[in-house]
Amino acid sequence: MTIVTRFAPSPTGFLHIGGARTALFNWLYARHNGGKFLLRIEDTDRERSTDAAIEAIFEGMKWLGLDWDEEPIFQFSRRERHADIARQLLAEGKAYYCYASKEELAEMRDQARAESRPPAYDGRWRDRDPSEAPAGVQPVVRFKSPNDGVTLVRDLVQGDVTFANEQLDDMILLRADGTPTYMLSVVVDDHDMNVTHIIRGDDHLTNAARQQQLIEAIGWAVPEYAHIPLIHGPDGAKLSKRHGALGVEAYRDMGYLPEALRNYLLRLGWSHGDDEVISTEQAIDWFNIENIGKSAARFDFAKLENLNGIYIRNADDAYLAALIKPIIERMTGTDLDPNHLKLIEKAMNGLKERAKSVNSLAESSLFLVAERPLVLDDKAKSLLNEEACAVLQRLADRLESLAEWDKDLVENAVRAAAEAEGLKLGKIAQPLRAALTGTTVSPGIFDVLDVLGRDQSIGRIRDAIPG
């Protein structure tokens, strides 16, 4: 039997980080087993579902590299099929019409709580004759769930979890307006899509018991369940917008590489011995449900950032250059010409060693494309005092006389200059850096000279010298 997993977000907002992890686990499990990973948009809440959110989910999945098989299923479009099942249940006496008003429902809840009983619908219409129905009230359809006994959910992550059936009331299958509820829809869709493994957040654990009852009543096979722990914010509380509950596109905008985020998310709640940096191939190869932890994990930006740095350092230069191109263009307000892009690519090796985000990478490469004369920051200005400028003047002359702009020749010239001046290399390198980059932080100074080339290097040095 082929393994089929699915990710089933409701399009009421962006693809948040918790959803992304759920999607990742489903994707990995399917890929690991050579199965299928399906996408289903749970858009039955017409009020809150938006096209923008659907688009954001697709985009987020693509950005993370989580490709799904087959066309996405839109749950709302299957409402007739869902309702059919409800009607079938009705015909079989496994469901019934309920005419209780919202006020009655609220009353039941309050009373149950007051009496320390589970707050549940009391089943008042369960066995009543339809002829008793009040006039003018559109009924809902409720599932006739077992009153006693227990429901055992055999969860791959949580283990065997038992729920007393009296704890679970008769849930609504069809609303008064005839539309199916989530509980009915998921069960029918997962069945029709041949989903074998349901991997989702453990906030659905109780739902699993209810859904299992429904599945059994219909007579279908119960799928495997794996309820994974939720992600918490740094303070241990549920992830909110304040922490990391941002859309994945927010992480992209903060300069995180999708592969770094994916690695981080994978290690959050799942482990493979002491392995930390895990490639996609390894992840697919190693992923299993057994190694998913049972406790909630806190989101830690510091670790994400560290991983991001590792992935940036190991990334391909051209790939990174292409990534930062639009960022630089946004920063400078002008389009990058091909020569500049080549320059950036050439400098990338030294640049990426120092970056912890794509954004900071873009920022640190700005000096490469800056127009002369450079705008110097304060620290750079203070480095270029009279004495330093005199040194740079002589250095510029020395560089000017170089037969060719060869990296080694340039380095030798600078070192020779330092020696001639009786200065340590640092004493000459820092003012030089200030003149060449306008800042006090950059890749190695010889790399900078090499990448910038003769004209820019000498020009920038001369620009920095007053008069």
Catalytic residues: 241
Which residue from 223, 255, 309, 459 is in contact with RNA, where contact means CB under 7 A? 309
424 lies in the site for RNA, by CB under 7 A: yes
Nearer to RNA, 276 or 463 (CB): 276
Residues 273-292 that bind RNA (CB under 7 A): 273-274, 276, 291
Contacts of 274 (CB under 8 A, 6+ apart): none
Helices 79-91/182-192 angle, 10° precision: 100
Do you know the residue count of the chain? Answer: 467
Give CA–CA dist 420/407, Å, rounded: 20
Among 316, 335, 353, 419, binds RNA (CB under 7 A): 353
Nearest distance in Å: CB 453, RNA: 17
Of 20-79, which residues contact RNA (CB under 7 A)? 42, 44-45, 48, 75
Of 1, 136, 295, 375, the one binding RNA (CB under 7 A) is 295
Q: Which of 93, 136, 149, 159 binds RNA (CB under 7 A)?
A: 159
Query: With respect to RNA, which residue has the nearer C-beta, 112 or 329?
Result: 112
According to the binding rule CB under 7 A, does residue 182 interact with RNA?
Answer: yes
- Shortest distance (Å) from residue 351 CB to RNA: 9
Answer for which of 133, 296, 323, 366 binds RNA (CB under 7 A) is: 296
Q: Which stretch binds RNA (CB under 7 A): 15-23, 203-211, 214-222, 332-340?
A: 203-211
Asked if 441 interacts with RNA (CB under 7 A), we say yes
Q: Does 300 bind RNA (CB under 7 A)?
A: yes
Closer residue to RNA in complex, CB, 2/77: 77
Contact 183, 239 (CB under 8 A): no
Q: Which of 2, 67, 154, 237 binds RNA (CB under 7 A)?
A: 237
Shortest approach of RNA to residue 467 CB, angstroms? 26
444 interacts with RNA by CB under 7 A: yes
Mask for 98-137, x = binds RNA (CB under 7 A): --xxx--x---x--xx--xxxxxx----------------
Q: By CB under 7 A, which span of 30-38, 216-224, 268-276, 450-458 interacts with RNA?
A: 268-276
Instruction: Scan residues 78-97 and list those touching RNA (CB under 7 A).
Output: none
Q: Which span sits near RNA by CB under 7 A: 161-169, 217-225, 253-261, 366-374?
A: 161-169
From 17-25, 53-61, 236-244, 328-336, span contacting RNA (CB under 7 A) = 236-244
* Binding residue (CB under 7 A) for RNA from 2, 92, 110, 164: 164
Pick between residue 161 and residue 329 the one whose CB is nearest to RNA.
161
Q: Closest approach of Cβ 283 to RNA, in Å?
A: 14
Judged by CB under 7 A, the stretch of 19-27, 251-259, 368-376, 444-452 that binds RNA is: 444-452
Residue 359 touches RNA, criterion: CB under 7 A: no
The answer to whether the beta carbons of residues 208 and 156 sit under 8 Å apart is no
Among 27, 125, 163, 251, binds RNA (CB under 7 A): 163
Q: Can residue 236 be called a binding residue for RNA (CB under 7 A)?
A: yes
Stretch that binds RNA, among 52-60, 158-166, 217-225, 388-396 (CB under 7 A): 158-166
Query: Does residue 429 touch RNA according to CB under 7 A?
Result: yes
Q: Are 170 and 179 in contact (CB under 8 A)?
A: no
- Residue 252 main-chain phi, psi, to 5 deg: -60, -45
Q: Reduce the secondary structure of the chain to three states and give it as a string.
A: CCCEEEECCCCCCCCEHHHHHHHHHHHHHHHHCCCEEEEEECCCCCCCCCHHHHHHHHHHHHHHCCCCCCCCEEHHHHHHHHHHHHHHHHHCCCEEEECCCHHHHHHHHHHHHHCCCCCCCCCCCCCCCHHHCCCCCCCEEEECCCCCCEEEEEECCCEEEEEEHHHCCCCEEECCCCCECHHHHHHHHHHHCCCCEEEEEHHHHHHHHHHHHHHHHHCCCCCEEEEECCEECCCCCECCCCCCCCEHHHHHHCCCCHHHHHHHHHHCCECCCCCCCCCHHHHHHHCCCCCECCCCEECCHHHHHHHHHHHHHHCCHHHHHHHHHHHHHHHHCCCCCHHHHHHHHHHHHHHHCCCCCHHHHHHHCHHHHCCCCCCCCHHHHHHCCHHHHHHHHHHHHHHHCCCCCCHHHHHHHHHHHHHHHCCCHHHHHHHHHHHHHCCCCCCCHHHHHHHHHHHHHHHHHHHHCCC
Residue closer to RNA by CB (options 171, 389) is: 171
